[in-house]
Chains A and B, each alone.
Chain A
Amino acid sequence: MRGFRDPAAASRLMDAVRATVQGTLRVIEFCGGHTHAIMRYGLRGALAPQVQLLSGPGCPVCVTASADIDQAIALSGRPGITLATFGDMIRVPGTTTSLQGARARGADVRVIYSALDALELARALPQREVVMLGIGFETTAPTIAAALRQAESEGLANFTVYSMHKLTAPAMRAILDAGELAVDAVLGPGHVAAITGWQAWSFLPEEYGVSCAVAGFEPLDILQALLACAEDQARGEPRITNAYGRGVSALGNSTALRLMDEVFMPTDAAWRGLGVIPGSGLAIRPGLARYDARQRFGLPGMAEGPLDAEAAVGCRCGEVLRGVVEPPQCPLFGAACTPAHPVGPCMVSAEGSCAAYYRYRGIMDI
């Protein structure tokens, strides 16, 4: 499996991509994991200027609305509550503080690596209410669903899930629907597709005329996908390509999809910087209300408030994501929106377009 990092093959693939691109190829990677890999392996600089790689909304953590984080922080401060969260989430700012700030002020916030660890916590702390923050796209949601089912079968009464799960395809549609689009292709999220199947992304060429190559996260995976996008561009024929054959099938993981469907149902969800996107979130089904932290602790279905304010004050994240504007063209960039006080997801993630642009003033490519 290490073969997918081979430098010689990577260099050939890069040559092939450059030779195939007509003029400029503009590709948006939906997924923060791709952004990370592209940065880590220096692909952006190596393929510029023929290929322009734009960073997408990033990770499920970055797109969590600050109002939702505020609610999680408030919940963590209640007596008897132990909040279990993935490490990624702990730094992400809400309106006034973050979960690590709440922990410093005395909240019982535990960093876990897996939903299995949250179950273990609930078993070990029977006198406390263990709330697992359900963060993640389609890749993570089935693992939380599996844990919830496990809690049910064990009769673990002190385990609940606070679902903030998000669905990628509705968000991609919302970004594309919102206006002008200046990209030729989308790098499809490989590990989301491992669950959903690559066919879930065929709407991109079919409905939007944009190529989509579902890609893995090794350099050769990404380059192979970019080559497919370049070939589509050369032919003038947008297609869906599965460039992650070893991990992704057409229809995905049926066990995971079934489990996700049994536990969750689609709901509207608020995305940081993008606003409310219909059907882009997952709520726990009414039949499992006793495992639903929103039900158990009387939290509103979808956080309200600061999110609308964010959208209103002029965050142009959506346009950055569509490749229509560069980060500095946003009126908030560098003033109201900085890595320390981010407004949109492109600034929250260290690898987001705006954060990277802010740190390197556009000279990410050396």
Chain B
Amino acid sequence: MTENVVLLAHGSGGTLSQELIEQIFVRHMADDVLSGMEDAAIVPLPSEPHGSLALTTDSFVVQPLFFPGGDIGKLSVCGTVNDLAMRGARPLYLTTGYVIEEGFPMADLDRIAASQAATARAAGVRIVAGDTKVVERGSGDGVFINTAGIGLVPDGVRISAGNAQPGDAILLSGAVGDHGLAIMTRREGLEFASPLSSDCAPLNDLVARMLAACTQIHVLRDPTRGGVATALNELAERSGVSMEIAEEAVPVHAPVAAAAELLGLDPLYVANEGKLIAIVPAGEAGALLAAMRAHPLGAEATAIGRVLEGNAGRVVLRTALGTRRLLDRLAGEQLPRIC
């Protein structure tokens, strides 16, 4: 490719578009169906005879585009794969749409597409359809990516945000706050002895192991924007239950805790991109935790609390001091505070 930045002409549908798609997207995705460049991808149904389809879509607008532990390409696969997995679905196919700002460095676009393709391969999903648009300089912020996904939910799996039952155990797959703080500290000029890294990861394999170990999973949720606190509030509300969480049980890595303290943030409200909350009957919690801990993405999995009856929507935190307080949901954007 002769140009080292993206031109408006790359989105025109002409020769340059063709060149961009072939040399970047088709090359990295290396998928027979995508390479066909038909108007719609035609893909085989999975071999399982029964089940339901799960569909989801998500758009990604992260800044910076490249951050420790990931980039917007990786994130765009993890986000959609994880949304499918949180319903118990096995992700099968993804589509991706790029909105690129005129003048965006071709080398960066190449890195993003390569990372997206590698993440999809690692997650065992195929990117089978795509779209590219170029907008005028100033009308975008580098690159926006949309992905949509299709997955298969086996018969008998009923996982929903509204399924938490009083008496259930609340499990968390690992330490919180890594993603949000890895991104925020890039902007706030903090430095780390051992650099903070986003936890961005596809969780479908972990979920498959969990489903194999426990057929009674009531709720799965990835605590992304708004963090664990906001996710728990949503689940408590949707299920019409209350919850009690032990603050000390929620793992937070030391540098994350320190960075959060310096910026005046609470890790419970900071975004994660590779963690999940699982709500299961208390009797199943032990076996499920063991299965989670056997997986690299669940090595720090732990029980953080339980579901209670009544006071629908209320989440109570038992603090390290043994006192109790309401754990509210996040009101607005998480910003560093001085007050």
Q: Which A residues lie at the B interface, using CB under 8 A?
A: 5, 7, 10-11, 32-33, 39-43, 45-46, 58-61, 86-88, 90-91, 111, 113, 135-136, 140, 219, 350, 359-360, 364, 366
Contact = CB atoms under 8 A, between A and B. Distances in A.
Contacts of B316: 366
Given A32-B339, A113-B338, 4 more contacts: A41-B323, A91-B332, A113-B336, A140-B338
A60 B338 CA distance: 10
B339 A59 contact: yes
8 contacts: A7-B322, A11-B322, A42-B317, A87-B337, A88-B338, A113-B263, A350-B331, A366-B325
Contacts, number: 70
B324 interface: yes
Contact of A42 (B266, B323, B332, B336): B323
Contacts of B263: 113
Contact of B320 (A7, A39, A46, A359): A7
A308 to B, nearest CB: 26
A90 B320 contact: no
Given A113-B188, A359-B328, A88 B323 contact: no
Interface string B298-339: 000000000000000000110111111110100110011111
Contacts of A219: 321
A350 B320 CA distance: 23
B255 to A, nearest CB: 15
Nearest to B244: A366
Nearest to B338: A86
A276 B188 CA distance: 36
Given A7-B320, A42-B319, A366-B316, A87 B335 contact: yes
A364 B326 contact: yes
B332 A360 contact: no
Nearest to B325: A42
Nearest to B242: A366
Contacts of A46: 321, 323-324
Interface in B167-194: 188-189
The 9 closest A-B pairs by CB, nearest first: A42-B323, A87-B335, A59-B339, A42-B325, A46-B323, A86-B338, A10-B321, A42-B319, A88-B337
Given A86-B337, A113-B336, A40 B319 contact: yes
Nearest to A59: B339
B320 A5 contact: yes
A354 to B, nearest CB: 15
Chain A interface mostly helix, strand, loop or mixed?
Answer: helix
Contacts of A136: 338
B188 to A, nearest CB: 6
A366 B311 CA distance: 11
Contacts of A88: 335, 337-339
B324 A11 contact: no
A140 B337 CA distance: 12
A7 B324 contact: no
B332 A41 contact: no
A205 B178 CA distance: 47
Given A91-B332, A113-B188, A113-B263, A11 B321 contact: yes
A364 B324 CA distance: 10
Interface in B246-302: 263, 266
Interface centre among A41, A113, A136, by most chain B C-beta atoms within 10 angstroms, is A113
Contacts of A364: 326
Contacts of A11: 321-322
A73 B319 CA distance: 40
Contacts of B328: 359
Nearest to A139: B338
A350 B329 CA distance: 12
A148 B336 CA distance: 22
B331 to A, nearest CB: 6
Tell me which of B320, B326, B338 has the highest count of chain A C-beta atoms within 10 A of its own C-beta: B338
A136 B319 CA distance: 30
A136 B339 CA distance: 8
B82 to A, nearest CB: 28
A46 B324 CA distance: 8
A87 B263 CA distance: 10
A138 to B, nearest CB: 13
Contacts of A40: 266, 319, 325
Interface in B56-110: none
B63 to A, nearest CB: 13
B334 to A, nearest CB: 9
Contacts of B189: 113
A140 B339 CA distance: 10
A7 B338 contact: no
A46 B318 CA distance: 11
A14 to B, nearest CB: 8
A76 to B, nearest CB: 17
B339 A7 contact: no
Nearest to A90: B335
A61 B337 CA distance: 10
Contact of A61 (B323, B331, B339): B339
Contacts of B325: 39-42, 45, 366
Residue in B189, B322, B323, B324 with the greatest tally of chain A CB atoms within 10 Å: B323
Interface centre among A60, A87, A91, A350 (most CB of B within 10 A): A87
